[in-house]
Structure 1
């Protein structure tokens, strides 16, 4: 079937991150500023700090969903903000409230099937689309099984198996499902928000073990959290209170509020991203959608 066969393609190499003095500003001030770090491919990076310190905005910026105001960043060699659409094509989001959320009314199977079909539609080759329905169905199943296994999601252990509604999932299982959905696209970069929110100590340990396993398999992981384990790369958006910039008092603005207010944010669905050219030189602020318009198909 060639190099595009979904069942034989190797996992992609993770995206290295080079971030220097990155900052994002909205009408109410800076969401974050002066963020600098380097992370190699396959790293596990924790964006750590209290809620309201710009962690989610930084996650969205590094995955190509929000336009920064200052500094530079390269994601897998792609410069931001100039190549935002290209970065979106190699980066996937797990759970991000208000941006990529699970539908509580759908079952686990429905979520997985929809994401796999969308992946076929928007990143599959023309040749793949022309294959017999039975072949396409087998490839879709193989891709789902691969992602579910990588996310450690035990479908048999769910109350109704894969027919379990999202509303009936425990928080850790919902986290695993969101990561499985993201991994169906075999991204080079995975972003997950609120990694440790409302988790017990035991579940928190399982969540970090899962993210380490994903990173060890080659995918670079960005995980927003309130407190990260000591053995991961920890990045904070919290700045010193004394700053020369008069807007510095607004640096630690609410994440969601900043996302809603920032005029330069970009939120595109998979359909929009598929239409972008490889160059992305014509990305404009005027044509940007609100970041919170990003769908769960990101």
Structure 2
């Protein structure tokens, strides 16, 4: 019996993607075992979607190293794409609001039957292929927690009539039909209420516990950070230090934009990080005296803008404006 875990291990060191006008993200490091829940947290424009696309082989990296399931990036991008799936990625893998839930499921099952299996599987009797497709769809819907009977018109419900959490579950179910080793979900908590957010994270955690590695992009990590591999994008860049400064070692201008920890408590408060990245200081007079030079603050703001532009350019090159 094959004891190899279904999920893909994900590792990265100094990983980065660069667009025409700057870095989308850089110096990302992580080490996640198969079946992990990897949470990418960061503000809009910090390169978090670019990181998702790069780790699934959809975007070419420009710095560092990374492996997904033992497949090196960017050398084995095609192989990485074959073992990963995207869900809820606007402009890349998104639902058509004009189609019904059933039409989406039938289309995805048809594509899986035509291109996701072997030639021998295509030669089997039609009733066997239909039964297998139904089994795949049912298993994916169960894993994503989408109950068709609870929808307004059942399987005939249009995507435009779905609640946001139901649309997220459908997108995840469609991705799971292909049996990916790594499932990547973008904008996980976008416009979800607190209760909906908790249910979404419970779904993704359940998928990870069942063996599939999950990479989820969000603005806020789950409250229960136990067992979560947290990666932050858009962190503060260290100020430049002259190489000949006495008593100081030279600082790199490519300071880490992303950090990784075991849970959400491993790093500083995101609001504090945002204030620091913008060069803000506290109202304490002592803090103002010892704060950064305004020129350095202006430099940090410029670097942050360049990173956001780089992320936008990299996404545009990948087919998403």
TM (norm. structure 1) is 0.82
Give 1:33-48 correspondences, 5 Å limit: 33-48=26-41
Which residue is equivalent to 1:116? 109
Which residue is equivalent to 1:292? 320
**3-state SS in 2 of match to 1:149:** helix
Greater radius of gyration (CA): 2
CA offsets 1:245-281 (integer angstroms, 9 cap, x no match): 5994412447444311x4xxxxxxxxxxxxxxxxxxx
Which residue is equivalent to 2:263? none
Residue 259 (1) aligns with residue 315 (2): yes
Which residue is equivalent to 1:239? 235
Bigger CA drift: 87-96 or 118-127? 118-127
Question: 1:119/1:256 Cα in 2 relative to 1: closer, same or farther (>3 Å)?
Answer: farther
RMSD between aligned residues: 2.2
Aligned residues of 2:23 and 2:310 also touching (Cα < 8 A):
no
Measure the CA separation in 1 of the matches of 2:165 and 2:159: 12
Structure 1: segments with no counterpart, 5+ residues: 4-8, 263-289, 294-298
Which residue is equivalent to 1:277? none
**3-state SS in 1 of match to 2:204:** helix
Question: 1:148/1:79 Cα in 2 relative to 1: closer, same or farther (>3 Å)?
Answer: same
Which residue is equivalent to 1:86? 79
Residue 125 (1) aligns with residue 118 (2): yes
Residue 144 (1) aligns with residue 200 (2): no
Shift in Å, 1:292:
3.5
Shift in Å, 1:129:
0.7
Measure the CA separation in 1 of the matches of 2:210 and 2:4: 8
Question: 1:167/1:88 Cα in 2 relative to 1: closer, same or farther (>3 Å)?
Answer: same
Alignment length, in residue pairs? 258
The structure where helix makes up a greater share of residues is 2
Structure 2: segments with no counterpart, 5+ residues: 241-252, 255-298
Shift in Å, 1:104:
0.5
CA offsets 1:84-103 (integer angstroms, 9 cap, x no match): 00000000001101111101
Aligned residues of 2:37 and 2:229 also touching (Cα < 8 A):
yes
Aligned residues of 1:30 and 1:248 also touching (Cα < 8 A):
no
